[in-house]
Structure 1
Amino acid sequence: MPETQSTRNVSVIQDVNGNSIVMINDIRFKGKRSVNWDEVKTYIEEFVGDNYIIADTSDMVYIGSDLPDEYTGSEYTESLRGANAKAKANASQGIPELLHIAKGKYFRENKTNKHIRNAKFGWYRYDSRFALPVYGDNNEVERYNVFHASMLIRHANDGKMYLYDIIDIKKETSNPLG
C-alpha cells in the first residue's frame, strides 16, 4: 500500500536556541542518481485544497493546484543536484509543518508580467527549517542534517496567499543534530 499524507512521519522540535525545526523522519524520495520529480509531484497533489496557518503571523496559506508543477518543475528545482535536490524532494513531506513554523515575513512587489495574474498583490517569503536523517552503513540513523528554506508565497487576485515554491534550500553546516 502506498504511503499517504496520513502516514507521514514528521514532527516539530526545538533546537538548543528554542528555534523550531521540522523533523522529517523518513526519506521517502531516495535514489543514487536523481530524484523522480513525477513521484514528488504526485505526492504534493495530495495537499492541493488544504490550507495552513503560519503561527508567527496568523496568515492563512492555501495550497493551490499550481504548487505541484511549480515545486517540481521550477527553474530553481531544475538547478538542484545531489543532496539539495533530495532535500527539496523530501521537504515536501513537511509542507504543513514548514508553513506553521515559518518566520520572518518579507514582502516583495511583483516585478514581472509573467506573474501579473497569479501574484497580483506581490510575493512574501518566510524562513523555515527542516532536518533529514543521515543513515550509516548499518541502516541506523547516525545524525540529522538541518536545512534552511525560504517559503515563497504568492498573494493572488482573490486576496488569498498561496504556497508557490520552497526555494533557497541550504544545509546548515554548524547544526547537525545527533
Structure 2
Amino acid sequence: MKKGKRERNVSVIKDADGNNIVMINDIIFKGKRSIDWDEVEKYLKDYVGDFYKNVETNDIVYFGKDLPDEYAHSEYTNSLKGAYAKAKANATQGLGEMLEIAFNANYTENKKEKHIIDAAKGWYRFESRFALPVYGDNGEVERFNVYHIYLIVRHDQNGKKYLYDLINIKKETSNPLGCH
C-alpha cells in the first residue's frame, strides 16, 4: 500500500536475462559536490506507514518511523561519496518496488543490545536492483546505470518487518541499459 504524497516516475522492467530492475526515471537529488541528506530524510518521512509485499517470500515490509533517519544518516550513508551517494539518495523513490522484487532473503539473529526490541526477531538481508538515468551534455538520457543493493529489514518484537536501510551499492558494469 502506497500513501506517499509525492509523484514518482518509477516502474519495474525485466532485463535481457529476465531479471527484474526498478527503473527510477527522475533524478530528484542532484548536486555536484554532495547530497543534502536532511532533504532525503524529509522525503522519506512522507512514506512512513507505507508497506509492500515481497513477491518471493510473501513478507509484508513496512516503512517505519526510524527509516528516514537511519537511511539518511547511517554509518554506511556517511561513508558514501560521489555517484554512490547520489544513487542511494535517488533510490528512495523506488524502495517499495525494490522490496517487492527483492530476492535471496537471508536471516541473521540480532546480536546488538541496542536492537533488542526493534530487531528482537532478527534481521533479513534482501538483494535487489535498480537503475538511474545518466544524462548527456544535451540534457537527454544517454543510458541507465544499473545498481545491485542489499535491503536491510528488521523483524520487530511486534512481529512486523520494517525496512531499515539500503547498503552495499554496487554499479553493475557489464550492461548499462541503453536508450534509443
Instruction: Specify if TM > 0.5.
Output: yes
Count residues with an aligned counterpart. 175
CA displacement 1:9-66 (0-9 Å, x = unmatched):
0011000110000000000001100001111111101110111100111100011000
- What is the rounded CA distance, in whole Å, between the counterparts of 1:111 and 1:74 in structure 2? 18
* Residues 1:112 and 1:77: Cα distance change in structure 2 (over 3 Å): same
- For the pair 1:36 / 2:36, whether they are aligned, the reply is yes
Equivalent residue number for residue 94 of structure 1: 94
AA in 2 matched with 1:129: R
Corresponding position of 1:23: 23
**In structure 1, C-alpha distance between the alignment counterparts of 2:115 and 2:83, rounded to whole Å:** 30
Match of 2:123 in 1: 123
Q: Which residue of 2 aligns with 1:154?
A: 154
Structure 1 stretches of 4+ with a deviation exceeding 3 A read none
Residue 73 of structure 1 corresponds to which residue in structure 2?
73
Corresponding letter in the other structure for 2:106: Y
Using structure 2 for the length normalisation, give the TM-score.
0.95
Contact 1:5 1:93 in 2 (8 A): no
User: Does the alignment pair 1:175 with 2:172?
Assistant: no
- What does residue 13 of structure 2 align with? 13
Contact between 1:129 and 1:146, CA under 8 Å: does it hold in 2?
Answer: yes
Measured after TM superposition, the shift of residue 130 of structure 1 is: 0.2
CA contact (8 A) 1:54 1:102 kept: yes
Distance 2:14 2:87 in 1: 20
Q: Any stretches of 5+ residues in structure 1 without a counterpart?
A: none
Secondary structure of 1:174 counterpart:
strand
Q: How does 1:41-80 map to 2 (within 5 A)?
A: 41-80=41-80
Q: Secondary structure at the match of 1:43?
A: helix
Corresponding residue SS for 1:158? coil
Question: CA-to-partner distance for each residue in 1:53-86, whole Å, 9 max, x for gaps?
Answer: 0011110001100000000000000000000000
Identity of aligned residues (%): 63
SS in 2 for 1:48: coil
Q: Alpha carbon RMSD of aligned pairs, Å?
A: 0.9
Aligned to 2:137: 137
Contact persistence 1:9–1:26 (CA under 8 A):
yes
Distance 1:62 1:141 in 2: 33
Residues of 2 paired with 1:65 and 1:6: CA distance?
Answer: 18
Q: Distance in 2 between matches of 1:167 and 1:5?
A: 25
Residue 113 in structure 1 maps to residue 79 in structure 2: no
Following superposition, the deviation at residue 111 of structure 1 comes to 1.2
Unaligned runs of 5+ in 2: none
Report the residue type matching 1:156 in the other structure.
D
